[in-house]
């Protein structure tokens, strides 16, 4: 696999991926515009950690390409657009957000072609009493058939945060499968009772539940999991 | 060890426990038998400080001190362990990590990784608890029997002073029940001061873990206390036969 690293030194630019690539993204306090072109028949795996960002990122995915993105972000106002341009392309995008401020995280998934597949998982821990919003649009073009689109959005409020999810699904085609779901709330009290019945404190129970909530859907290497775990363990509750 | 006096508990307008009394000393094994909905499982949750239940009056003392008002984790760390009737699954919380955190919650110095793995794998093997479930989310994909084995595995690792077995036999086939009870009996042999409260509908489990005291519970209170034989009298006559209550020793 080709290996690429994107950090704060990158300028607004176009990135072309024309061979199987592991891309690591590490951005902090940035407001960038990036276009990522995934050329046909390519596997792109992206491991992202960001803090306090307002980036605008657009993906263009060609035929027979597969993109897997795992992202852990602290305070993200990012605006992501994914264009599934050609047949047999797929994307699995896990966004896990730790939120301390007033933020809106926006995603738009455009299925422009037939036989395209997307799995969008957005999870957020709203730590303080601030406002957090997911806006997620799934758009299926009228010429796109046999599209498989699923999005799952969840926000857990640890305190009295104001959270909102706008899961939009605009379908202009027949012969597709689409699902979207949204949940805003707290952790299941029965789970916490069970954990505390074994002697874990409220905070220790929360720590394990938070880590599970943010990482469970991700397919990570041990090293990547350790990096994310260290960030999650620093959450100041 | 565990002493409950005149305990009255409500949920909303409904009274669940009604002047409930019981006294369990170190090393004693007690069983409570009763029909569905009589408050047996509520009792275990109330002892653990579950906030869904309101204690109106009475007291629960453990080792001479009231535990009413303590948080669930504080009660657990005093040495009270409940093996639940329906252990829940927790996706994403890895069983081994959960167990290690629970062990460390009781220790000043964290358990070493080698010691933990050795202990965990050894006890899991004794119980025929599948190794792959150790590395999965807590009880995720586990059968009813495997969940009960996980409860006993947790018990053995956490070494409680007082154990409540809430419908341990539900969901267990006969071989698994024998295996699980064998694990509990071994634990009691190695920890002879442990108090035990068995909550059950049927006397089957009592053939494997033999109590010195059997209590019959109806409508939130103990209506009859006797020895081991009472369990089989209850099975023979049923809970609705008042002749059991009218005859012999009565807890009240």
Closest partner CB to A213 (pick from B82, B92, B97): B92
**For testing the chain A interface, which of B85, B98, B160 should be mutated: the one with the most A CBs within 10 Å?**
B98
Residues contacting residue B219 through CB under 8 Å, at least 6 positions apart: B18, B38, B39
A201 inside domain = no
What does the alpha-carbon distance between residue B251 and residue B115 come to, in Å, rounded to a whole number? 46
CATH of the structural domain B26-48+70-246, one choice from 3.40.50.300, 3.40.50.720, 3.30.70.580, 3.30.1490.100: 3.40.50.300
Q: How confident is the model at residue A143 (pLDDT cuts 50, 70, 90)?
A: confident
Q: Do A215 and B87 touch (CB under 8 A)?
A: no
* ∠ CA B57-B60-B64, rounded to 5°: 135
- Give the range of the structural domain holding residue A171, as residue numbers without chain letter: 2-186
A19 inside domain = yes
How many structural domains compose chain A? 1
Chain B residues within an 8 Å CB radius of A225: none
What does the alpha-carbon distance between residue A153 and residue A95 come to, in Å, rounded to a whole number? 10
A32 inside domain = yes
- Chain A closest-CA separation from residue B59 CA (Å): 20
Start-to-end Cα distance in chain B? 20
- Chain A closest-CA separation from residue B227 CA (Å): 30
pLDDT of B246 reads 56
Q: What is the pLDDT of residues A101-131, one digit of tens each?
A: 999 999 999 999 999 999 999 999 999 999 9
The token duo for B82 is 């409940």
Answer yes or no: is pLDDT of B244 > 90: no
- CA-wise closest residue to A52 among A32, A71, A34, A74: A74
Q: How confident is the model at residue B37 (pLDDT cuts 50, 70, 90)?
A: confident
What does the alpha-carbon distance between residue B217 and residue A51 come to, in Å, rounded to a whole number? 58
**Reported pTM:** 0.89
Chain B residues within an 8 Å CB radius of A191: 88, 90
The token duo for A207 is 């720590």
What does the alpha-carbon distance between residue A147 and residue A141 come to, in Å, rounded to a whole number? 10
Answer yes or no: is pLDDT of A212 > 60: yes
Q: Do B98 and A195 touch (CB under 8 A)?
A: yes
**For testing the chain A interface, which of B79, B91, B93, B102 should be mutated: the one with the most A CBs within 10 Å?**
B93
A158 inside domain = yes
Q: How confident is the model at residue A148 (pLDDT cuts 50, 70, 90)?
A: very high
A104 inside domain = yes
DSSP 8-state secondary structure symbol assigned to residue A23: E
Q: How confident is the model at residue B251 (pLDDT cuts 50, 70, 90)?
A: very low
CB A123 within 8 A of CB A217: yes
Return the residue of B nearest to A187 by Cα.
B90
Residue indicated by tokens 């303590």? B70
A219 inside domain = no
- CA-wise closest residue to B157 among B117, B82, B99: B99
Q: How confident is the model at residue A138 (pLDDT cuts 50, 70, 90)?
A: very high
How confident is the prediction for chain A on average, in pLDDT? 94
- CA-wise closest residue to A80 among A11, A151, A8, A172: A151
Q: What is the pLDDT of residues A1-28, one digit of tens each?
A: 899 999 999 888 899 999 999 999 999 9
What does the alpha-carbon distance between residue A155 and residue A186 come to, in Å, rounded to a whole number? 8
CB B217 within 8 A of CB B223: yes
The token duo for B213 is 């005291």
3-state secondary structure of A74: strand
- How many CA atoms are closer than 13 Å to the CA of B53, on its beta-carbon side? 24
Q: What is the pLDDT of residues A61-71, one digit of tens each?
A: 999 999 999 99
What does the alpha-carbon distance between residue B101 and residue B199 come to, in Å, rounded to a whole number? 28
CB B123 within 8 A of CB B103: no
Strands A79-84 and B65-66: what pairing? unpaired
Q: Do A196 and B106 touch (CB under 8 A)?
A: no
- Please indicate whether residue B108 or residue A87 has the higher confidence score (pLDDT): A87
pLDDT of B249 reads 46
- Chain A closest-CA separation from residue B41 CA (Å): 14
Q: Do A200 and B50 touch (CB under 8 A)?
A: no
Q: What is the pLDDT of residues B160-188, one digit of tens each?
A: 999 999 999 887 888 888 888 999 999 99
- Chain A closest-CA separation from residue B191 CA (Å): 19
Q: What is the pLDDT of residues B198-218, one digit of tens each?
A: 999 888 899 999 999 999 998
Q: What is the pLDDT of residues B117-171, one digit of tens each?
A: 999 999 999 888 998 999 999 999 998 889 999 999 999 999 999 999 999 988 7
A102 inside domain = yes
DSSP 8-state secondary structure symbol assigned to residue A198: T
Alpha helices in chain A (DSSP H): 189-196, 202-215, 222-233
Report yes or no for ipTM above 0.90: yes
Domain boundaries, chain B: 26-48+70-246
**For testing the chain B interface, which of A199, A201, A203 should be mutated: the one with the most B CBs within 10 Å?**
A199
Residues contacting residue A220 through CB under 8 Å, at least 6 positions apart: A47, A70, A228
Answer yes or no: is pLDDT of B247 > 80: no
DSSP 8-state secondary structure symbol assigned to residue A154: E
A8 inside domain = yes
């Amino acid at each position: 696999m080709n290996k690429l690293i994107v950090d704060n030194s990158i300028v607004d630019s176009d990135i072309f991926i024309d061979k199987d690539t592991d891309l690591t993204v590490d951005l902090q306090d940035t407001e960038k515009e990036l276009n990522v072109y995934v050329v046909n028949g390519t596997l792109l795996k992206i491991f992202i950690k960001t803090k306090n960002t307002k980036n605008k990122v657009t993906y263009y995915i060609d035929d027979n390409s597969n993109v897997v993105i795992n992202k852990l972000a602290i305070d993200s106002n990012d605006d992501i657009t994914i264009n599934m341009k050609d047949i047999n392309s797929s994307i699995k995008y896990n966004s896990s957000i730790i939120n301390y401020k007033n933020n809106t995280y926006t995603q738009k998934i455009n299925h422009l072609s037939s036989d395209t597949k997307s799995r969008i998982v957005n999870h957020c821990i709203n730590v303080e009493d601030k406002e957090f919003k997911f806006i997620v649009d799934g758009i299926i073009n009228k010429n796109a058939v046999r599209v498989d689109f699923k999005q799952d959005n969840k926000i857990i409020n640890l305190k009295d945060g104001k959270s909102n999810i706008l899961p939009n699904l605009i379908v202009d085609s027949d012969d597709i499968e689409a699902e979207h779901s949204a949940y805003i709330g707290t952790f299941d009290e029965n789970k916490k009772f069970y954990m505390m019945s074994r002697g874990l404190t409220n905070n220790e129970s929360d720590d394990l539940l938070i880590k599970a909530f943010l990482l469970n859907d991700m397919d990570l290497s041990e090293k990547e999991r350790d990096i994310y775990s260290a960030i999650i363990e620093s959450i100041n509750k | 060890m565990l002493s409950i006096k005149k305990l009255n508990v409500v949920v909303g307008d409904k009274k669940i426990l009604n002047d409930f009394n019981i006294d369990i000393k170190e090393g004693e094994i007690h069983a409570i038998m009763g029909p569905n909905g009589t408050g047996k499982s509520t009792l275990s949750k109330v002892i653990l400080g579950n906030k869904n239940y309101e204690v109106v009056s009475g007291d629960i003392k453990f080792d001479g001190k009231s535990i009413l008002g303590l948080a669930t984790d504080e009660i657990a760390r005093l040495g009270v362990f409940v093996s639940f009737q329906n252990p829940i699954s927790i996706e994403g919380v890895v069983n081994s990590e959960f167990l290690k955190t629970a062990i460390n919650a009781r220790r000043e110095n964290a358990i070493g990784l080698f010691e933990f793995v050795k202990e965990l794998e050894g006890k899991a093997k004794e119980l025929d608890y599948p190794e792959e479930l150790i590395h999965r989310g807590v009880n995720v994909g586990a059968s009813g029997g495997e969940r009960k084995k996980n409860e006993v595995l947790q018990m053995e690792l956490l070494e409680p002073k007082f154990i409540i077995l809430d419908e341990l036999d539900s969901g267990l086939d006969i071989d698994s029940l024998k295996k699980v009870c064998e694990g509990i009996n071994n634990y009691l042999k190695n920890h002879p001061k442990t108090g035990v409260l068995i909550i059950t509908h049927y006397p089957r489990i009592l053939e494997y873990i033999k109590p010195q005291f059997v209590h019959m519970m109806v409508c939130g209170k103990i209506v009859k206390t006797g020895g081991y034989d009472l369990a089989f009298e209850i099975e023979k006559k049923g809970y609705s036969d008042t002749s059991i209550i009218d005859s012999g020793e009565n807890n009240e």
